[in-house]
Amino acid sequence: MPDNNENKNLIEQLNSKRENAQKGGGDRRIESQKKKGKLTARERLALFFDNSDYEEVDIFVQHQSKDLGLDKSVYDGDSVVTAYGFVNGRQTFAYAQDFTVLGGSLSLVAGKKIAKIMDMASKNGAPIIGFNDSGGARIQEGVDSLAGYGEVFVRNTMYSGVIPQITVIVGPSAGGAVYSPAITDFIFMVKDIGQMYITGPDVVKSVTGEEISHEDLGGSVPHATKSGVAHFVYDDESQCINAVKKLLSFLPQNNLENAKKIDGNSSDPNGEILRTIIPEKSTEPYNVIDVIDNIIDDKDFFEIQSNYAQNIVIGFGRIRGSSVGIVANQPAHMAGMLDINASDKAARFVRFCDAYNIPIVTLVDVPGFMPGVNQEHQGIIRHGAKLIYAYAEATVPKISVILRKAYGGAYIVMNSKELRSDLNLAWPTAEIAVMGPEGAVNVISRKEISESDDPQATREKLISEYKEKFSTPYIAASRGYIDDVIDPAHSRKKIANALEIFSKKYLENPPKKHGNIPL
Ligand code: HXC
């Protein structure tokens, strides 16, 4: 292009249009966003992408609506900023809703912008990350706005299991708008800023009479501890964005790739401390994260949903530099029993790892499924079945180590040999049986106990005989259900060697449209 005056004017006009578009809803609304303690959409993207460098797409898109005064509220780019760039040096796509433009409310064109960037992410096999900060459907647009949501939801579904999808909740997310995040793989929330609910406090009050604040209804605390909707919570946006990047570092770009191996700890440090973790009394608790830390590289465990269903622990780590998903019963919480929430939490994680070629290491210490009327009536049968289904269908390398208890149905569920596990190891402290000694003796020796001269002494004698005979790993090992009984100190080395050997594992499930997991 010749550098004449007319062209100079065109460039100036372009620059000024772009500058104007980058102001979103304008200085007053940016100020109001800051007063709420929130970053702007573009500040979020700048923090997220490497060197704050990203390319914006559709910056000049405008809504075409005329109703209810919308013709007087037209902003370049509308209520969402869509962009691509590099994160951790890898191609990444993102969108950030701009609350300064009509409260980030989703118009048809905003929905189409998000759909376009999702399509780009999928075509290029790269993760998509959404920063949600929106008053929901743009009320003035009516059904057009709902159609905009539809465009997003269908892509969330179609790209599920194809490219990692992450949502960061940094503002309101109300009504049906919550369902896009809910379909994505991981939800991050920032305390006091992000809220998610189907209906806000006013509607709740008018329908049920309950009075509750926005934060108590849909803030990060209830979603991280009670509903299980949020996977991660952070105090501020910058910490949260760093955590999103860390999570991405454990993941592959898409379902056809493996996670990138990093030059990490390739040695197998002495694991003698693992010999000391299991308490002498088999009913005593211990923290399974101490076991995880001594198996993975550099004790760098990235735990997911750490405050929800704490009886099971899930998260990512690396072994000799390669990503693994870890699932572990947590004896320090409810004795590590499996209940409804733990089953859901672990099942979804197992399926995520399987979809993205991340091997799964399972650490087992489980006394069984949680008994109780509430659990039965809430559907522990249906929910527990999800975990069996998830493990059974997973074709990635699967390794289990039974640390202590593996009783009954829970033994089978936690990646037993029959669910197509690749390697099942047990520590000498493992107790593998249909049920715990006390329960077993009560059932099979009730008569003998009650008819004896000293029922208490007889009961204790029978329990001790049962323990000696059944509560060991050797019967299972003698039948090949356990591949080896190992010195706990060798756990890391054994797992690491197996992961290297199984890294080329090939296993396909029978062809089908899709299975019918008990949802
Ligand atoms: C159009 C909206 C809007 C919306 C907010 N605004 N929500 N405009 N459609 N849904 C506008 C406001 O008019 C205001 O414009 C600006 O955004 C900022 O809003 P404020 O209310 O001043 O902000 P704040 O006090 O922070 O409150 C935020 C809020 C509140 C809690 C999100 O705005 C609110 O309750 N909005 C409505 C939420 C809602 O009910 N949405 C529909 C849900 S149903 P000005 O010009 O003054 O800056 C739904 C269905 C989806 O989403 C279905 C998908 C399948």
> What are the backbone angles phi and psi of residue 196, rounded to the nearest 5°?
-130, 125
Q: How many residues does the chain have?
A: 519
The fraction of the chain above a pLDDT of 70, given in percent, is 99
Check whether 503 has a pLDDT greater than 90: yes
Render pLDDT for 235-262 as a digit per residue (tens, 0 to 9).
999 999 999 999 999 999 999 999 999 9
Indicate the pLDDT class of residue 308, thresholds 50, 70 and 90. very high
Check whether 3 has a pLDDT greater than 80: no
Indicate the pLDDT class of residue 94, thresholds 50, 70 and 90. very high
Q: Cβ distance 148 to 111 under 8 Å?
A: yes
User: What is the DSSP track for 27-88?
Assistant: HHHHHHHHHTT---HHHHHHHHSGGG-EEEE-TT------GGGGGG---TTTTEEEEEEEET
Cα distances (Å, whole numbers) of residue 60 to 17, 26, 37, 164, 333? 8, 15, 28, 28, 53
Name which of 407, 416, 409 is nearest 362 in CA terms.
Answer: 416
Confirm or reject: Cβ of 105 under 6 Å from ligand 1. Answer: yes
Confirm or reject: Cβ of 178 under 6 Å from ligand 1. Answer: no
Region 125-152 average pLDDT: 96
Tell me the C-alpha distance between 339 and 402, whole Å: 19
Atom 9 of ligand 1, nearest CA residue:
138
- Catalytic-residue membership of 176: yes
Tell me the C-alpha distance between 49 and 89, whole Å: 9
Render pLDDT for 451-462 as a digit per residue (tens, 0 to 9).
899 999 999 999
Check whether 497 has a pLDDT greater than 90: yes
Q: Which of 102, 140, 151, 183 best tests ligand 1's pocket when mutated (most atoms within 8 Å of CB)?
A: 102
- Give distance in angstroms: CA of 239 to centre of ligand 1: 27
For 4-250, which CATH class? alpha beta
Tell me the C-alpha distance between 157 and 165, whole Å: 10
Q: Which two tokens stand for residue 156?
A: 């969330």
Q: Is the dihedral of CA 449, 455, 459, 465 positive or negative?
A: negative
Check whether 417 has a pLDDT greater than 90: yes
In this prediction, residue 177 carries a pLDDT of 85
Check whether 39 has a pLDDT greater than 90: yes
Tell me the C-alpha distance between 57 and 518, whole Å: 40
Catalytic pick among 85, 111, 136, 175 = 175
Residue in this structure with the two tokens 């019918």, named with its chain if needed: 516
Catalytic pick among 161, 176, 264, 439 = 176
With vertex at residue 351, the alpha carbon angle to CA 345 and CA 354, rounded to the nearest 5 degrees, is 140
Q: Cβ distance 312 to 349 under 8 Å?
A: no
Task: Enumerate the domain spans of the chain.
Answer: 4-250, 271-430+472-503, 435-471
Region 102-108 average pLDDT: 96
DSSP 106: B
Check whether 2 has a pLDDT greater than 90: no
Atom 27 of ligand 1, nearest CA residue:
135
Q: How many angstroms separate the first and last alpha carbons of the chain?
A: 60
| 3-state SS assignment for residue 518 | coil
Q: How would you classify the pairing of strands 312-319 and 54-57?
A: unpaired
Check whether 69 has a pLDDT greater than 90: no
pLDDT, mean over the chain: 95
Tell me the C-alpha distance between 345 and 172, whole Å: 25
Region 123-138 average pLDDT: 96
Region 497-511 average pLDDT: 96
Residue in this structure with the two tokens 């049986």, named with its chain if needed: 433
With vertex at residue 12, the alpha carbon angle to CA 10 and CA 15, rounded to the nearest 5 degrees, is 110
Confirm or reject: Cβ of 146 under 6 Å from ligand 1. Answer: yes
Cα distances (Å, whole numbers) of residue 349 to 125, 276, 303, 341, 353? 21, 29, 11, 12, 6
Confirm or reject: Cβ of 149 under 6 Å from ligand 1. Answer: yes
Check whether 402 has a pLDDT greater than 70: yes
- Give distance in angstroms: CA of 134 to centre of ligand 1: 7
pTM of the model: 0.95
Q: Cβ distance 428 to 401 under 8 Å?
A: no
DSSP alpha helices (H): ranges in 102-236?
A: 108-123, 143-158, 179-183, 201-208, 214-218, 220-222
Q: Cβ distance 308 to 338 under 8 Å?
A: no
Check whether 34 has a pLDDT greater than 70: yes
- Catalytic-residue membership of 175: yes
271-430+472-503 to CATH, choices 3.90.226.10, 3.90.1150.10, 3.40.50.300, 3.30.1490.20: 3.90.226.10
With vertex at residue 286, the alpha carbon angle to CA 283 and CA 289, rounded to the nearest 5 degrees, is 145
Confirm or reject: Cβ of 24 under 6 Å from ligand 1. Answer: no
In this prediction, residue 466 carries a pLDDT of 86
Question: Counting atoms of ligand 1 from 1, which one is nearest the CA of 172?
Answer: 32
> What are the backbone angles phi and psi of residue 338, rounded to the nearest 5°?
-90, 125
Domains 4-250 and 271-430+472-503 share a fold: yes
Neighbours of 3 (CB within 10 A): 7
Confirm or reject: Cβ of 74 under 6 Å from ligand 1. Answer: no
- Catalytic-residue membership of 409: yes
In this prediction, residue 151 carries a pLDDT of 97
- Give distance in angstroms: CA of 117 to centre of ligand 1: 24
Q: Cβ distance 60 to 17 under 8 Å?
A: yes
Label residues 48-68 b or e (16+ Cβ within 10 Å = b): bbeeeebebbbbebebebeee
Confirm or reject: Cβ of 336 under 6 Å from ligand 1. Answer: no
Atom 32 of ligand 1, nearest CA residue:
135
Indicate the pLDDT class of residue 398, thresholds 50, 70 and 90. very high
- Give distance in angstroms: CA of 103 to centre of ligand 1: 5
